[in-house]
A and B are shown apart, each in its own frame.
Chain A
Amino acid sequence: MNFTAPESLIFWTSIIFIVFFILLGKFAWKPILSAVKGREDSINSALAAAETARLEMQNLTAENERILQEARLERDAMLKEAREMREKMIADSKADAQVEGARMIEQAKVAIAAEKNAAMAELKSHVSTLSLDIAEKLLKSELSNKEAQTKLVENMLGDVKLN
Chain B
Amino acid sequence: MVISKKSLQFLLVTFLACMPLVTFANESADSLQNHTENAAPAAEAHGETGHSAEKEFNATELINDHIGDSHEFHIADWGGHPISFYLPVILWTNTGLEVFSSEQFHHDNEGHHVIDINGQKLVRFNEVIFYADKFETLTEDQRKNGAFAFDARPLDFSITKNVFSMLMSALVLFFLFFAVARSYKKNPKAPKGIAGFLEPLVIFVRDEIAIPNIGTKKYAKYMPYLLTIFFFIWINNLIGLIPFFPFSANLTGNILFTFVLALITFIVTTFSGSKDYWKHILLPPVPKALYPIMIPVEIIGMLTKPFALMIRLFANITAGHIIILSLVSLIFIFKTVAVAPISGAFVVFMSVLEMLVAALQAYIFTLLTALFIGQAVEEHDHH
Contacts and interface: CB of A to CB of B under 8 A. Distances in A.
Q: How large is the interface on B (under 10, 10 to 19, 20 to 34, 35 or more residues)?
A: 35 or more
A7 interface: yes
Interface stretch (A32-40, A47-55, A89-97, A110-118): A32-40
Contacts of A20: 170, 173-174, 228, 232
Contacts of A13: 163, 166, 256-257, 260-261
A37 to B, nearest CB: 9
User: Which 8 pairs between the two chains have the least Cβ-Cβ distance?
Assistant: A5-B156, A28-B177, A35-B184, A2-B68, A3-B147, A31-B181, A4-B69, A13-B260
Interface string B124-161: 00111100000000000000000110000101111110
Interface in B171-216: 173-174, 177-178, 180-182, 184-185, 188, 190, 199, 202-203, 206
Q: How large is the interface on A (under 10, 10 to 19, 20 to 34, 35 or more residues)?
A: 20 to 34
A2 B254 contact: no
Contacts of B318: 1
A interface, over-half SS: helix
B33 interface: no
Chain A CB within 10 A, most for which of B160, B190, B260: B260
B313 interface: no
Chain B CB within 10 A, most for which of A12, A33, A36: A12
B180 to A, nearest CB: 6
Contacts of A29: 177, 223-224, 227-228
A18 B228 CA distance: 10
Contact of A27 (B129, B181, B203): B181
A130 B13 CA distance: 155
A21 B127 CA distance: 30
Given A9-B254, A13-B166, A28-B180, A4 B160 contact: yes
Given A4-B160, A6-B256, A24 B177 contact: yes
A21 B257 CA distance: 15
Given A35-B184, A36-B202, A5 B158 contact: yes
A85 to B, nearest CB: 66
A16 B166 contact: yes
A4 to B, nearest CB: 4
Contacts of A17: 170, 228, 232, 260-261, 264
Given A20-B232, A28-B178, A8 B158 contact: yes
B225 interface: yes
Interface in A94-152: none
A33 B227 CA distance: 10
Given A21-B225, A29-B227, A35-B184, A6 B157 contact: no
